[in-house]
Chain A
Amino acid sequence: MNDKNVLLRVENIHTYLGASHILKDVSLRLGHGETLLIMGRNGMGKTTLLRSIIGLSPPKRGKIFYRGSEITGLATEIIAKKGLALIPEDRGIFPNLSVYENLIMSSRPSPTGRRDWDLEGIYELFPILIMRQRNLGNQLSGGEQRMLSIARVLLTHPDLILIDEATEALAPILRKEVALVLKKIKDSGVALVIVDKYINEWMELADNNIILSKGEIVFQGNQDKLLKSPLSLQSHLGL
């Protein structure tokens, strides 16, 4: 990957939470429109990595670049405005806002002025939300919240979406639905970083895979390499 094609570059970051050294020398690269799957058992630092990238838990050492310019240490809202979106573990749906309000409150064109998505397109992709427009955020099921959280960031027109625990606690049929939606999003040219414990859903979608263990990258490679190293799958994912 030459530098021009790199969308996100993480270079040797070390992140601390309180006194604990959580991320240790993590580096990765992601090209425009590519999908990266991050795996690892509970507590291995997946969430911390996403939070470091978006500036919520900035690294103490190391650097992060987005579109070639450094974003380490910038405020989260400034990083977000550059076209990075995070869908957190808890989805962050505002409970006291209606579904419609959750959708439009932060909608904006991309930094380059791209406006591919409007409400109509969103409702086409997430028909489940149409019936729910007037419901409050706290009246949604887990699956509906997941869909709303994805729909909401699409309306901010990011070039990169970081999605934590993409299908956690969802029924198999809903997991498939999330996978289908993310595939469509990938096809529209948006890069994805997916954190999930169910890796089967993502085998086709992911261009690259990372396994984190105790804050370190212990595996990095494509599907072929992943499937050929059953050791990593077994010892780090329990598969």
Chain B
Amino acid sequence: MELSFYLIQLLNGIQLGFLLFLIASGMTLVFGIMGIINLAHGSFYMVGAYLAYWVTSLTDNLLWGILLALPLLFLIGFLIEKLAISFLYHRDHLSQVLLTYGLILILSSLQIIFWGKEFHGIDIPSPLNGSIALTDHQNYPVYRLFISFICGLTAFGMYFVIQKTRLGMKIRAGSSNREMLRILGIDVNKLYSIVFSVGIVLAGFAGMLVFPLNAVYPGMEENILIMSFVVITLGGIGSIRGAFLSAMMIGILETFGGVFFPEISSFLVFGLMALVLMWRPQGLFGQFR
């Protein structure tokens, strides 16, 4: 096989890695800082995709679809945190698992109630619908590059906020000592609300970017729900850096595995996780607390 074939798989793998990172980063922060296991986090990938599809079909414009769906999703995340998640802060993980599993069921039912069981797609607008030639007979879709580019920008933006801003410092501080944050006059509930809602927006944003490529359909989030768990476990819960590294590893492994060993491709991902966890039970960048 030609080199360009591997290049294409690598680009696809990176793109999947970026998407997994967007989804897993919010989830790992919510788990690491707020101590909340949100099983439903990956569902917002689907919710974001459907919202963007819906607004796009109303406005007939993908850009508007995404720009309007983002604040809508933030509002949804904000309300869910206030009305449901905030009751879980002092409860055990079992209550969290039960409530957020219920949330998965509710969200997928709502999806079918509102949009039915059909596939819905849109046309990728120009100039993003073209492709570029890698070799004489190998092309690569521009839109896939566009996804990776936007995801890369978003990841950089997140890195900047977490590492360089005071909000990011408070978020990192919250994972080690909440009481001290309050003593210093910082409203921890507000901080949680922001972290949770932004995490939801990031997961949804991944869905918004992907749906023009794959359409929206029932169950589109199933694979993502599981893979994002693998990503945060492998990367180390609470670690953004770990999430990034493991999302890339899993994205690339899943893509190459799917091409070369399709029968055992999902086994590869879990096998990698098992291996890493045997060596480092806290994940690549995790810390025992």
A-side interface residues toward B, CB under 8 Å? 54, 56, 75-77, 80-81, 85-86, 88, 92, 94-97, 101, 104-106, 108, 152-153, 156
Contact = CB atoms under 8 A, between A and B. Distances in A.
Interface residues of B, number: 18
Contacts of B170: 105-106
A105 B183 contact: no
A219 B181 CA distance: 34
Given A92-B177, A92-B183, 9 more contacts: A54-B183, A76-B183, A77-B182, A86-B183, A88-B183, A96-B176, A97-B172, A104-B169, A106-B185
A56 B176 CA distance: 18
Contacts of B177: 92, 94
B184 A80 contact: yes
Nearest to B174: A94
B183 A97 contact: no
Contacts of B108: none
B182 A80 contact: yes
Contacts of A92: 177, 179-180, 183
Interface in B160-197: 166, 169-170, 172-173, 175-177, 179-188
B289 to A, nearest CB: 11
B171 to A, nearest CB: 10
Contact of B176 (A76, A95, A156): A95
A153 B176 CA distance: 18
Contacts of A75: 182
B182 A94 contact: no
A81 B185 contact: yes
A56 B173 contact: no
Contacts of B175: 96
Give the 7 A-B residue pairs with the shortest CB-CB distance, closest first: A80-B185, A92-B180, A106-B184, A105-B169, A94-B173, A76-B182, A81-B185
A80 B183 contact: yes
Nearest to B165: A105
Nearest to A137: B176
B185 A156 contact: yes
B248 to A, nearest CB: 23
A94 B166 contact: no
A105 B180 contact: no
A186 B67 CA distance: 53
Nearest to A75: B182
Contacts of A96: 172-173, 175-176
Which interface residue of A54, A80, A85, A88 has the most chain B CB atoms within 10 A? A80
B160 to A, nearest CB: 14
23 contacts: A76-B182, A77-B185, A77-B186, A80-B182, A80-B184, A85-B183, A85-B184, A92-B177, A92-B180, A94-B176, A94-B180, A95-B176, A96-B172, A96-B175, A96-B176, A97-B172, A97-B173, A101-B169, A104-B169, A105-B169, A105-B170, A106-B170, A106-B185
Contacts of B169: 97, 101, 104-105
Contacts of A153: 184
A134 to B, nearest CB: 13
A92 B173 CA distance: 10
Contacts of A105: 166, 169-170, 173, 184
Contacts of A95: 176
Which interface residue of A75, A77, A156 has the most chain B CB atoms within 10 A? A77
A81 B223 CA distance: 46
A106 B179 CA distance: 14
Given A97-B169, A101-B169, A106 B186 contact: yes
Given A94-B172, A104-B166, A77 B180 contact: no
Interface in B198-239: none
Contacts of A104: 166, 169
Contact of A77 (B166, B173, B176, B187): B187
Contacts of A56: 179, 182-183
Contacts of B179: 56, 76, 92
A80 B179 CA distance: 12
A56 B188 CA distance: 14
A96 B181 CA distance: 14
